[in-house]
Structure 1
């Protein structure tokens, strides 16, 4: 579980910096959404790392941010590389969190 939470925290950090790395910094909606939700995912994942059990609320926050980033990449018609780095990591976040939720039940 620690590895999965560490990965989702790393993905959250990537979501925070991705607008500048991917050349989307001229779109203010993309920047603000990525920074705010990426920070939420990063913080929720780090909080889940500190808890030993029953981190359900943190998992739900991380799940919702992962879903948002998966939908976000399709909604904004990003290029293939941008979609891969945002959408696929959003889907991986969802998969990792669902795996976490399965092991906490």
Structure 2
């Protein structure tokens, strides 16, 4: 009877240890799966970021072109403003010529 009792205690301890090992293994598998997802997400993010490089470069080039256009239009506006400023003087001279 004592041997049977010891055997049940040993079996019970083994079962508890086995359950503990299974719980730890389960936690480890979940951790590795989460880590795997993180790696996958990080990989996708890196690929997405790398694919944006061309778009950023194109946008940068377009902004430089827009800057050039703005500079040209500013120059043209300044020329037009100088011409508009001369209109009253031209009108005055025409009036003087009409009187003659």
Q: Calculate the TM-score normalised by the size of structure 1.
A: 0.24
Higher relative contact order (CA 8 A, sep 6+): 1
Larger gyration radius, structure 1 or structure 2: 2
Kindly indicate which of the two structures has a greater share of residues assigned to helix. 2
